[in-house]
Structure 1
Amino acid sequence: MRQRSVARAATTAGMHAALLAGAFFSALPFLWLLTTSLKPEKAVFSPPLLIPTRFEWMNYARAMQVAPFDRFFLNSAIMAVGITVTQTVFSGLAGYALARMHFPAKHLFFITVLAAMMIPQQVTLIPGFLIVSRLGWIDTYAALIVPRATSAFAVLLFRQSFLSIPVEIEEAARIDGAGTLTIIARVVAPLSRPVVAASAIFSFLFAWNDFLWPLVVTNSTRMQTVQVGLAMFSGRYGTFWTLLAAATVVALLPSVLAFLAGQRRFIEGIASSAVKG
């Protein structure tokens, strides 16, 4: 009996050690980024020490002075919030239609949504740019937000979640005189808060960290986002690695805070959306 307890304890300790090692190596790039942001410029090419011998806190102040990062952060915030709100609303409505309503070619629409998830963003880049250009939206918030106001992944996420809600609840609301939009807003949405949170977090993280599309549809510094602004640290004569690392750490903070704030709802939403197919 004692030998079994010892073997079980040894197995548990080994599993924890393996998990801790995996977690450390997963976090190592982020730790390296953080320590690089605090190193003097000359120490970047010195022996690769994880902890700097001298902390250069002024790297953050200098990084924010290289470019108008206050404007970049404002543009990224407007774009991320706009995409998050529109994707959540429109994808939720589309997901409800695919889950509850009956109309011709419904299954064909659902297959089309699934197929849209398999198309890389680079394939739609040129057609999307041409449409935005002909609408006269280049260098505007409309170009940053409207083309990504829906998401095939979010539609699928909402559809799978709505299928798990008993139809009887909605039928009871209809008997009381509620319309479709009222049912969605007051019955279905409150019951799907974890999925709404998961979709919002996905949308926000995607929008905040997007680089390619804002680079294509913005020309002036006034409309560029923070991810595009980070490219200013790389020039013809080299890259300012410590300043780039400092600016990247600051740019990562909204993503990290958004995930930590909705982590529990995020996990619940992913789990609940897989209950029923």
Structure 2
Amino acid sequence: MSAARPGPGRTRRRLRAVVANAAVALLTLVTLLPLAWMVTVSFMPRGESSHSPPPFWPSRWSWENYYELLVRREIDGAWFDYRILPALWNSLTVAALATLFGLLLTVPAGYALAKLQFTGRARVLKLLIATLVIPGQVAMLPLFLLMKEVGLVNSYAGLILPSLAGIFAVLFVRQATLNIPDEMLDAARLDGAGEGRIFVSIVLPLLAPITVTLALFMFLAAWNDFLWPLIILTDQHRYTLPVAVAAIAREHSGDGELMMAAAVVTTLPVLLIFLALQRYYMTGLLGGSVKG
């Protein structure tokens, strides 16, 4: 007996799958190619990336750029210190604190707007949605003057406080919390559980993927923020990594290999965090709901 030939419908489905996979592979290649070139340039000897056309692979692999960037060394009797490692620690500290305290404020606020009844809830929600259309840069000048009045200029508190009550984060949590069945919460209340116990024992476990996704968003926002740290910080010893890298770029604008090494140092920590939390992140981002 001869094997049955696949029908035209099955052939078309296979063809569409092949085309879709090829498109995804091409898009992935286009996305990863600049990152791969950034890494290879960081290992090139000085001046090699300025050739025309620029090479993709270094003629010889060298750690010189990382050594000069990360190690304080003496040249002609003078000490050169780019302060990348202190700036890296500053960024880790600021991003971790901003994420921790931001979650402590926004997750309960989102739950309250979704499930608790209180006077003015609808008005608060409309006000939060309306403020989303206001660019953050517009508020930076009055925010800086406010930080100056309370003595928080050039401090980590002044750097972190404006990012704690993120409107997008509150609305993000609220939208996810709306999918928790009210019957589940009402049953817990009938059993004598208080609102705090309900929030900790029922709501938080159900919102775990959403919370991890939000934490990643907050961490990345604090880690990559450049403009507000540049405005609020005046002491180079308190610089975060983007500001420190920008300061180095002003002094070494033509040194592409050193700048690429600084970009790798800036990108690597957040890439590792994303890979570690990828399972929770994809669940929260693609799921977009909580099943009761």
Q: TM-score range by the shorter chain?
A: over 0.9
Structure ID, larger Rg: 2
- 2:77 corresponds to: none
> What CA RMSD, in Å, does the superposition of the two structures yield over aligned residues?
2.0
- The answer to which structure has the higher helix fraction is 1
Residues 97 and 6 (structure 1), Cα distance of their counterparts in 2 relative to 1, 3 Å cut: closer
- 1:188 corresponds to: 203
- 1:199 corresponds to: 214
**Please, which runs of 5 or more residues in structure 1 have no aligned partner?**
none
What is the CA–CA distance in structure 1 between the aligned matches of 2:284 and 2:13, rounded to whole Å?
34
**TM-score, with length taken from structure 1:** 0.92
How far off its partner does 1:41 sit?
A: 1.6
Q: Can you list the C-alpha shifts for 1:70-101, whole angstroms capped at 9, x where unaligned? A: 21112111110111011111111111111012
What is the CA–CA distance in structure 2 between the aligned matches of 1:103 and 1:174, rounded to whole Å?
17
What is the CA–CA distance in structure 1 between the aligned matches of 2:282 and 2:110, rounded to whole Å?
19
The reply to whether residue 18 of structure 1 matches residue 23 of structure 2 is yes
- 1:249 corresponds to: 264
Residues 275 and 13 (structure 1), Cα distance of their counterparts in 2 relative to 1, 3 Å cut: same
Match for 1:96: what amino acid?
Y
- 1:135 corresponds to: 150
- Report the 3-state secondary structure (helix = DSSP H, G, I; strand = E; otherwise coil) of the residue aligned with 2:48: helix
How far off its partner does 1:42 sit?
A: 1.7
How far off its partner does 1:103 sit?
A: 2.0
Match for 2:56: what amino acid?
L
Q: Can you list the C-alpha shifts for 1:103-137, whole angstroms capped at 9, x where unaligned? A: 22212211222222222221111111111111101
How far off its partner does 1:211 sit?
A: 0.7
Q: Can you list the C-alpha shifts for 1:157-210, whole angstroms capped at 9, x where unaligned? A: 111111111122222222333221221112110111011111101101111111
**Please, which runs of 5 or more residues in structure 2 have no aligned partner?**
72-80
- Report the 3-state secondary structure (helix = DSSP H, G, I; strand = E; otherwise coil) of the residue aligned with 1:238: coil
Q: Where does 1:23-102 land on structure 2 (aligned, <5 Å)? A: 23-46=28-51, 47-65=53-71, 66-102=81-117
The reply to whether residue 169 of structure 1 matches residue 184 of structure 2 is yes
- 1:265 corresponds to: 280
How far off its partner does 1:51 sit?
A: 1.6
What is the CA–CA distance in structure 2 between the aligned matches of 1:67 and 1:173, rounded to whole Å?
56
**TM-score, with length taken from structure 2:** 0.88
Residues 40, 242 of structure 1: 8 Å contact kept: yes
Residues 47, 256 of structure 2: 8 Å contact kept: no
Higher mean C-alpha displacement, 266-275 vs 76-85: 266-275
How far off its partner does 1:18 sit?
A: 2.1
What is the CA–CA distance in structure 2 between the aligned matches of 1:254 and 1:105, rounded to whole Å?
42
Residues 13 and 237 (structure 1), Cα distance of their counterparts in 2 relative to 1, 3 Å cut: closer
Match for 1:57: what amino acid?
W
- Report the 3-state secondary structure (helix = DSSP H, G, I; strand = E; otherwise coil) of the residue aligned with 1:239: coil
What is the CA–CA distance in structure 1 between the aligned matches of 2:289 and 2:20, rounded to whole Å?
28
What is the CA–CA distance in structure 1 between the aligned matches of 2:201 and 2:289, rounded to whole Å?
23
Of 149, 153, 159, the residue aligned with 1:144 is: 159
The reply to whether residue 229 of structure 1 matches residue 257 of structure 2 is no
